[in-house]
Structure formats: structure tokens, C-alpha cells
Structure 1
Amino acid sequence: MSPRKSVAETAATRDRILGSALALASAEGLEGLTIGRLATGLGMSKAGVIGHFGSKEVLQLATLDAAVERFRLRVPGRAVGARPGTERLARAFDEWIAYMAEDEGHGGCFLTAVASEFDGRPGPVRDAVLDALTAWTAYVTAELDTAIGTGQLPERTDVDQLVFELGGVILAADQAIQLHRDPQAPTRARRAIARLLIAF
């Protein structure tokens, strides 16, 4: 076996493990992610799984990184072509709501679920979740600042308050979609986002 093929196969196996880990953690939380369950599901030995990560915490962090990258590509990534400001934000939030509502095995918004799971547990996983959500807040804030600077929103706009309210809509949408199975939740969430971005 050539070294190049070995590296490629190792990367492919790691990706396969992370895919299974993301599906399992989406359904049962990051704490429900165990080496044994992953190994059984993948038809691998525990040593084969742990060899790619070293510990459960490292596996959790890698799974979170994979979820963040998927979110980044799906949500702000698909809004890149929209006009900066309120149009881009509306597109990004629309993608986030669609991401929560689609049946892709995510169990709603992975980041929202993990934030609730680890919000009271100090440690590297909580820190990583906080970093991811802080980056999202910075993205929203920058687009709102652009909207104010270009006259899409009034200068008196309280950016921090608007970021808070937009986040509240997403949390409500996630609960309505996942817990209540409300088919109207995506429509209601998009309506609320539009109202905030237009009338704030």
C-alpha cells in the first residue's frame, strides 16, 4: 500500500466516523456519543475508532467542528451572493430555518441543541460552542452595521437588541419545529425575521 493511499484511506475513515458521530449526536446529544456505539454502528473495533481521535472529548470537539463547518457552508455560505445588509441577513436566516426544517438527520439545529446541552458545563466543548455562536453573532452584527451604514436600517437602530431578537426567533423556531412539530413554524419564523429587519 502506498503512503498516499494510506493517508487517503485514513482520512476517508475519519470522515466516515465523523458522519456517524454527527448523526448520533444530532439525535442523542454529544454526551450520547460513545466510542462503543460508534464502533458497533460502523462495524469497527473500539480501538479503530479511538485511534482517530484519542478520547471522547476530542471526538466531541471534532464532531462539533464538522457541524460548524456544515452550518457555515449551508447558512452564511449560501447567502454570499445577496446584497450586503438586510438582504444578506434575510437570506442567511432563511437558510438556517430551512436547515432546521429539512429531514437531513440533524434533529433540528445541531448548534442550538449542543448550546443547550453544554451551557452549564464548563470545559472545552462549551468553549467551542460559545466560539461558534460568537462568530455567528459577529457575522450578524457586521451585516446590521452595513445595513445602517447604507441606509437600509435607521441610524438609531439598537444593533445589540436586534441581534438578541433575531436569535430569539431562531430559538423559538427550533423548538416549534422539533418539539411541537408545527408545520407553520418555518413560515412564522421567516415572517418574524422579515418584520424585524424591515421595521426595527
Structure 2
Amino acid sequence: MSPRRSVAEALTTRCAILDRSVAIASVEGLEGLTIGRLATELGMSKSGVLGHFGSKEALQLAVLERAGEVFRAEVWEPVVPAAPGLPRLAALCEAWISYLEREVFPGGCFFVAAAHEFDGREGAVRDAIEARFDAWSARLRKEAGRAVEAGDLPGDTDPADLAFELTGLVMALNHALQLHRDPRAAGRARRAVHARLGPVRTAGA
């Protein structure tokens, strides 16, 4: 076997482990991941699974990174072409709602679930989850600030307050979809976003 093929196969195996781990963790939590279970489900040895990560914590951190890649592809990358400010913020909220509505992760928002699981703990995994929430909040604040500067939101709008409200709204949607299986929840979320952000001006308007 050539070194190039060996590296490629190792990457393929690692991706398979991470994809299965994300699916499990989205429903059962990051602590639901066990090396034995992954080995059984993937037809591997325990040492084979562990060899790709070194420890359960390293696996959990890698799973967070993989889930972040999925979230960026589903929620952030599609809205990058939108005009900065209110158009992008509104598009972002729609993509965020759609991501939950379509159940991209079988257990709902991966990061909301992970936050509930680790928010009272200490350690690298908890810190990584917090960092992702902080980065996302900063992105929301940035677009809200641009909307205020452009006059598309009232001048007294506090971007941090708006980011807080939008995050709470989407977390409530995740709760309604996952716990109550409410088919009307996404519609309510969209109406709430529209009521909070108001109409979006199109280019040239």
C-alpha cells in the first residue's frame, strides 16, 4: 500500500467516525459517545477508533469541529452573498430557522444540545462550546450594527440586545420542534423575526 493511499484511507475512516459520532451526539449528547459503541457500529476495533483521536475528549472536540463545519455550510455560507446589514441578518435568520426545520442534525441544533449538556461543567469541551456561541453572537452583532448604521434598524437598537433576542428566539424554536414536535413553530419563528427586524430593503429601493 502506498503512503498516499494509506493517508487517504485514514482520512476516509476518520470522516466516517466523525459523521457517525455527530449523528449519535446530536441525539444522545457528547457523553453518549463511547469508543466501544463506535467500534461496533463501524465494524472497527476499539484501538482502531481511539487511534484516530487519542482520547474521548479529543474525539468530542473533533465532533464539535465537524458539527461546526456542517452549521457553517447550512447557515452561514448560503447568506454570504447577501448585502451586509439587515439583508444578510434577515437571510441568516431564515437559514437558521430552515436548518432546524429540516432537521439537519437528527437531534435538532447540535450546539444548543451541547450547551445544555456542558454549561455547568469545566474543561476544554465546555470552553469550545462557549467559544462557538461567542463567535456566532459576534457575527449577529456585527450584522445588526451594520443595519443600524445603514438606517435599516432604529438608531437606538442595541446590536448586543438584538443578537440576544434572536438567539433566544431560535433556541425556543429548537425546543418547540424537538420537545413538542410543533409543526407551527417554524412559522411562529419567522413571524417573530419579521416583527423584530421589519421589512428588508432591496437593492435600489
**TM-score bracket for the superposition, by shorter chain length:** over 0.9
Match of 1:35 in 2: 35
Write the deviation string for residues 3-29 of structure 1: whole angstroms up to 9, x where unpaired.
111111100000000000001101100
TM-score normalised to structure 2 length: 0.94
Q: Do the aligned partners of residues 74 and 104 (structure 1) sit closer, same or farther apart at CA in structure 2, a change above 3 Å counting? A: closer
Per the TM alignment, residue 103 of structure 1 is displaced from its structure 2 partner at its CA by 3.7
Match of 1:194 in 2: 194
Write the deviation string for residues 66-86 of structure 1: whole angstroms up to 9, x where unpaired.
001110111011111112111
Q: How does 1:1-200 map to 2 (within 5 A)?
A: 1-198=1-198
Write the deviation string for residues 77-112 of structure 1: whole angstroms up to 9, x where unpaired.
111111211121111111111111214443110011
Give distance in 1, aligned partners of 2:52 and 2:2. Answer: 20
Gaps in structure 1 of 5+ consecutive residues: none
Per the TM alignment, residue 151 of structure 1 is displaced from its structure 2 partner at its CA by 1.0
Give distance in 1, aligned partners of 2:163 and 2:105. Answer: 28
Which AA in structure 2 matches 1:73? A
CA contact (8 A) 2:142 2:159 kept: no
Match of 2:198, SS?
helix
RMSD of aligned alpha carbons: 1.1
Give distance in 1, aligned partners of 2:156 and 2:40. Answer: 57
List structure 1 segments (4+ residues) > 4 angstroms apart after TM superposition. none
Between 55-64 and 100-109, report the one with greater CA deviation: 100-109
Per the TM alignment, residue 173 of structure 1 is displaced from its structure 2 partner at its CA by 0.2
Between 135-144 and 82-91, report the one with greater CA deviation: 82-91
Give distance in 1, aligned partners of 2:105 and 2:151. Answer: 40
Identity of aligned residues (%): 54
CA contact (8 A) 1:100 1:107 kept: no
Q: Do the aligned partners of residues 133 and 185 (structure 1) sit closer, same or farther apart at CA in structure 2, a change above 3 Å counting? A: same
Between 63-72 and 92-101, report the one with greater CA deviation: 92-101
CA contact (8 A) 1:35 1:49 kept: yes
Gaps in structure 2 of 5+ consecutive residues: 200-205
TM-score normalised to structure 1 length: 0.96
Q: Number of residue pairs matched?
A: 199
CA contact (8 A) 2:118 2:126 kept: yes
Per the TM alignment, residue 159 of structure 1 is displaced from its structure 2 partner at its CA by 1.6
CA contact (8 A) 1:118 1:126 kept: yes
Which AA in structure 2 matches 1:166? L
Give distance in 1, aligned partners of 2:48 and 2:5. Answer: 18
Which AA in structure 1 matches 2:54? G
